[in-house]
Amino acid sequence: MKQLQGKRALVTGAASGIGRAIALELARQGTHLLVADRDQMGMAHTAEMLRELGVEVETFHYDAEQPQEIVELAQFAAALPDGIDILVNNAGITYRGPTDRMEPEHWERMLDVNLYAPIRLTHELMPTLFVRRDVHILNVCSVLGLVGLPKVCAYSTSKFGLVGFTESLRSEYGVQGIGVTAICPGLVRTNLFNASISNGHERQKDPPRWATTTPERVAKVAVKAIRKNRARVVMEPVGRLMCFSRRFMPGLLDFALHLGRRKMTERRLAYWQSYQVEHAAKPKIVHKHDSTTIRRVA
């Protein structure tokens, strides 16, 4: 898609972070916007910033966890006079912490928002997109959808699925002139790092600044990928190194992730033995971990 001026893009999760940055970068190219999010105040601020760049802006309040609201968003987009040329599936949530502390409902939310929502929205918009000559679908994935790391199991599961969905779409519809891209940033400076679980013994630390990038950088790369119809974009040296290691030196990466295995095994056994003793005399009830935090990231 070489010409972006005068096109219309739908960007989900546009109230802040990567979604807002992509919407602004598209607006600088003369692209009109439909921005969607559940954060109405943040979305209104994004819309104001976009209008200052001289483009037409529509907003839609929706919750990506609600299938019916996704259908309503697609219907609203399809009813616009100039339709939709670019779909950016960006809205998502994250969880960082031990997988054993995740409740089933947290898994459901993660998969609903990060995987099922973009699948549903894309499917609902196919009749609208596919009647247009020049269209593009951009799915904001993650390097953690290419390489699995500790304490992000649910997030990686959803993003691995989104990468597969993107690649399959491109394989099926690329020959028909439909552009499809998976952009896989590494660590981005958004509220992603605040969505963590505390184990009561250690404080979660933000990654070093040199290992992260900005939403604005992701947005520039994303818009370039739309222009050039790139299949997959892995951003930043750290992310590329992780993918290179997983592909060409999987044994080395696996070895690094298993350093200290014996010590950690003993700690795990000691913890769960004490846990069983502590809870043996208590009635078996369903309970939630108050320390679990799960938030939306854009």
Chain-centroid distance of CA 196 in Å reads: 16
In the set 116, 155, 271, 275, the catalytic residue is 155
DSSP code string of 24-38: HHHHHTT-EEEEEES
- Cα separation, 79 vs 10, in Å, equals 13
Fold of 8-258+289-297: Rossmann fold (3.40.50)
Residue ranges per domain, the chain? 8-258+289-297
- Cα separation, 31 vs 24, in Å, equals 9
Other beta carbons less than 10 A from residue 170's beta carbon: 20
Strands 135-140 and 92-94 come out as unpaired
In this structure, of 49-63, 145-159, 177-191, the range with the lowest mean pLDDT score is 177-191
Does residue 282 surpass a pLDDT of 70? no
Distances (CA, A) of 30 to 9, 13, 123: 11, 20, 26
Radius of gyration of the chain (CA): 21
More confident of the two residues 132 and 202: 132
Average pLDDT estimate for 124-128: 95
- Cα separation, 296 vs 154, in Å, equals 14
Q: Would you say 295 and 16 are in contact if contact means Cβ atoms under 8 Å apart?
A: no
Nearest CA to 222 among 158, 136, 292?
A: 136
More confident of the two residues 212 and 15: 15
Average pLDDT estimate for 131-139: 95
Give the pLDDT of residue 260.
Answer: 60
Average pLDDT estimate for 103-131: 94
Chain-centroid distance of CA 62 in Å reads: 17
Q: Which residues of 33-43 are buried (b: 16+ CB within 10 A; e: fewer)?
A: bbbbbbbeebb
Question: Taking the complete model, does pTM exceed 0.85, yes or no?
Answer: no
**pLDDT tens digit string along 196-255?**
434 444 455 666 566 678 999 999 999 999 999 999 999 877 767 777 666 766 676 666
What is the pLDDT confidence band of residue 148, given thresholds at 50, 70 and 90? confident
* pLDDT above 90 coverage of the chain, percent: 60
Nearest CA to 73 among 45, 43, 41, 36?
A: 36
Give the pLDDT of residue 1.
Answer: 79
Does residue 57 surpass a pLDDT of 60? yes
Whole-number mean pLDDT of the chain?
84
Give the pLDDT of residue 240.
Answer: 72
What is the pLDDT confidence band of residue 263, given thresholds at 50, 70 and 90? low
Average pLDDT estimate for 176-187: 93
For CA atoms 219, 244, 93, 178, the dihedral sign is positive
Give the pLDDT of residue 96.
Answer: 79
Average pLDDT estimate for 43-69: 97
Average pLDDT estimate for 153-160: 94
Does residue 82 surpass a pLDDT of 80? yes
* pLDDT above 70 coverage of the chain, percent: 73
More confident of the two residues 229 and 297: 229
Does residue 77 surpass a pLDDT of 60? yes
What is the pLDDT confidence band of residue 290, given thresholds at 50, 70 and 90? very low
Determine whether 155 is an active site residue.
Answer: yes
Nearest CA to 21 among 156, 166, 162, 221?
A: 221
- Tally the residues of the chain: 298
For CA atoms 57, 62, 65, 70, the dihedral sign is negative
